[in-house]
Amino acid sequence: MKTVEIEREVACTAPPETLWPLLADTARLNRIVGMAPLELTPIEGAGSERYRVRTKLDGFPAEYDEEPFEWHSPDSFVVRRNMTQGVLHSLVMGLEVHPGEGGGSRVVWRLVFTVRLALLAPITRLVGEWRMNTVLAATRAFDASILAPPVPTAPGPVSEGFTRATDALVAVVGADEQALARRLGAWVAVAPDIDVMHIRPYELADQWGEPRDRLLAVCLEAVVVGLLQMHWDLICPSCRTGASRVEHLYDLTANGHCTFCDIGFEVPLDRSVEAIFQPAAALRLVEPRPYCTGGPSSTPHVLAQAHLARDGEARFRAPAEGRYRVFVRGGATAEIVVVADGATEVTLEATPVLTPASARVAPGATIVVRQVGGSARHAKLEHVAWAERAATAHKLSLQPRFRRTFSGEVLGPGRQLRVARVALLFSDLSASTALYSRVGDAPAFRLVQDHFELLREKIAAEGGVVVKTIGDAVMAAFEDEGAALRAGIAMQTAWDAFREPRPDSTDTMLKVGVHVGPAYVVTANGVLDYFGQTVNVAARLQGAAHEREIVVTDELAARAEAAGWLAGARVSEHFDAVLKGLDHPVKAARLVVG
C-alpha cells in the first residue's frame, strides 16, 4: 500500500469566525465541488463507525465505513473513512482555519489517502490534486461572497405547475400574507436542492426577517394548494437531528431511537416532533440522498466532537463561561459549568457512565474524557440550551389554521405523547341553565354560540387555540401562560360590551381559570386533546371562580405581576382553593378586571 498526502493553503480576507460556518457546512460544500450523493446503511452495535456508505469518488465506485466527524469549532475538523471496496484503503480529509497575519484567515486543507496498489498512487494523486483544487476554489468563492454578497438576480423561468400553485396560494392567504406567498413560491421553484429538501419554516423566517408564525401559516396553506408537502421528523434530544421520519402524526410511537447517538428517547410533541416541508413531488423532484453523514454545521449546538478509542481519551477546550454538557455515545453525560474560578483541567472517566457527573472549569481549560476498555465511540461537548427554531407538532397544534385545515393529523388510537409545558384556559357561563329556561332553547343557543365567537377571537389574538367546547364552556391551549392570562383578561374586559346589545344575557357572566404545566396529548373525539393533572387543576380553578373573575395559582399570579401580564386586571384576593381530586388545598388568587 502507498500513502499519498496533499496539503494546500489559501489566504482569505474574512476572519475565521465568519468563514467557519460556510466551510463547516460540509453537505453544501460537497454539492458545490461535485461530489456524488451517498447511500447510507446504519451500523448498529459497538464501534465508532456509524454508517456504511456507498457512493462514487470522482467516478469510481466506493464503499466505506465512516467514523463521526471530529471538530473543534471554529477552527478545525477532520473525517476518516475506512474503505471496504475500491482503489483506496483509507481516506482522511481535514481543515484548519487560522487567523491570518494582519487580519483575515489562513485556511489549510489536508487530504491523506492510502492506495491498495502502489502502482495506482500516481493517478490517484492526480485525481486528489484535481479534487483539492475544486475545494480551494469553493473556499475562495465563500470568502468572496462574505466580502461582496452576490447581487440578487431575477429567477429564471419556472414550470407552469409552479406558477399555478403559487397563484393558488396567493388566492387563499390573507392580504397581508400575499407578498410572502409570492416570495415562497418563487424561492421553492429555483433554490438549490439542499435548501428546499428540508424546509424549516422558523429558520427560514429568521433568515428572511419575517414573522415565524406568518411564514408557518403560509407553508401550511402551500401544502393544501399543492406547492409543498409536509412530513414529521423525530428529533434526537442529543444530536438534535432527524432520527427517523413519519408522514403523519397517526404513525408516531411513544419512543424513538437514534442510531448515531445509540440512545432511545421519549417523543414529546413539544420537543421531538418537527414539521418539515419540501416541494411537492409533482412539481419538483429533489435529490433525497444526503451528501454528508454529519459535518459540524448539521449539529451547530455541538462545539467539539472527538473520537474516543478503546483505552483512549478525547480532549476538549472549555469555551466561554456558561453551562455545557459532555455526551458519550450510548447516553453517558456530565454537566460542565464554565466559570472564571474553575479548574484548569478535569478528567471524566467513562465507566460506562461519566464520573464525575459534573465539573466546574475555567474558560480555556482542558476537559479530558477517558475510558478503559469498552468499544471505540465518539464524545462531544455541547451547548445545553435548546435553540427554539423548530416548528414542533405542539406548536402547530396550537394554530387554529392547522387544526382546521389538517384535522386528520391526529395521534393513533391509544397514543399519548407528553408536552413539557402548556398553558390551559377554561371558561364557563354562569346562569346558563336558567337562561335556557327563561328565554327558550333557540335564543339561548344563539347567545352561547355568539359568546364562543367572542372567546375564539380573544384566544386567537393571543396565539391560542380552542381545543374543544363543552356545553357552554371552552377549553383553550396556549404556548405560554402570559398569553393565556392576557386572553382571559381580554374576555372579561369585553364581556359588558358583548352583553349590552343582547338583553337575554342580563344574568350571564363569565368565569375563567388558567393553569400551566406538563400534560399528555391524545386524540379524543377526532381532535388533539389534553389530559393529566394540569388539565384537572385548570378546570377546577375555573370552577372556583366567581362571576367576572379569573382564578390562578398564587405562583402564577406572582409571576404575572412581576412580568406585567396583568395590565387591565388586579389581584382581588388570595385564598386556599379546595379542588376536587387534590389532597391539599391550592394557594390561589382571584383576578378581576378594572
Give the DSSP letter string of 549-571.
EEEEEHHHHHHHHHHTTTTTEEE
C-alpha cell, 23: 466551510
At 149 the pLDDT is: 65
Cβ neighbourhood burial of 112 (10 Å; 0-12, 13-18, 19+): middle
Is 268 within 8 Å of 418 (Cβ atoms)? yes
Residue among 185, 155, 152 at smallest CA distance from 167: 185
CA 51/CA 311 separation, integer angstroms:
23
C-alpha cell, 270: 413539544
User: Would you state the CATH architecture of domain 2-147?
Assistant: 2-Layer Sandwich (3.30)
CA 307/CA 378 separation, integer angstroms:
5
Is 594 within 8 Å of 572 (Cβ atoms)? no
At 158 the pLDDT is: 66
**Mean pLDDT in consecutive groups of 10 residues from the start of the chain, 594 residues:** 94 95 95 94 84 90 93 95 91 96 94 91 92 96 83 62 94 95 94 92 96 95 96 94 93 91 92 95 89 92 95 95 95 96 96 93 97 91 85 93 90 92 95 72 85 96 94 94 97 92 82 96 94 95 94 96 93 93 91 91
Locate all alpha helices (DSSP H) within 330-431, ordered by sequence: 393-397, 400-405
CA distances from 534 to 46, 428, 560 (A): 42, 18, 18
At 104 the pLDDT is: 93
C-alpha cell, 261: 447517538
CA 512/CA 546 separation, integer angstroms:
9
332-350 and 358-371: which strand pairing?
A: parallel
At 156 the pLDDT is: 56
At 446 the pLDDT is: 86
- Going by the DSSP 8-state scheme, the letter that residue 392 receives in this structure is B
Q: What is the pTM of this model?
A: 0.87
List the beta strands (DSSP E) in 430-577.
465-470, 473-478, 510-524, 527-531, 549-553, 569-577
C-alpha cell, 421: 409545558
At 157 the pLDDT is: 59
Is 321 within 8 Å of 363 (Cβ atoms)? yes
Is 260 within 8 Å of 44 (Cβ atoms)? no
CA 17/CA 22 separation, integer angstroms:
10
Is 1 within 8 Å of 124 (Cβ atoms)? no
CA 392/CA 519 separation, integer angstroms:
16
At 500 the pLDDT is: 86
Please tell me whether residue 335 adopts helix, strand or coil conformation: strand
Cβ neighbourhood burial of 259 (10 Å; 0-12, 13-18, 19+): middle
Residue among 420, 419, 371, 402 at smallest CA distance from 466: 402
Helix/strand/coil percent split, the chain, to 5: 30, 40, 30
510-524 and 549-553: which strand pairing?
A: parallel
The sign of the CA dihedral 135, 138, 143, 146 is negative
| Residue 3 bridge partners (DSSP) | 114
Residue among 131, 122, 106 at smallest CA distance from 19: 106
- Going by the DSSP 8-state scheme, the letter that residue 125 receives in this structure is H
CA 320/CA 296 separation, integer angstroms:
19
CATH number assigned to the domain covering 410-593: 3.30.70.1230
CATH 3.30.70.1230 residue ranges of the chain are 410-593
443-469 burial, b at 16+ Cβ within 10 Å, e below that, comes to bbeebbeebbebbbebbbebbbbbbeb
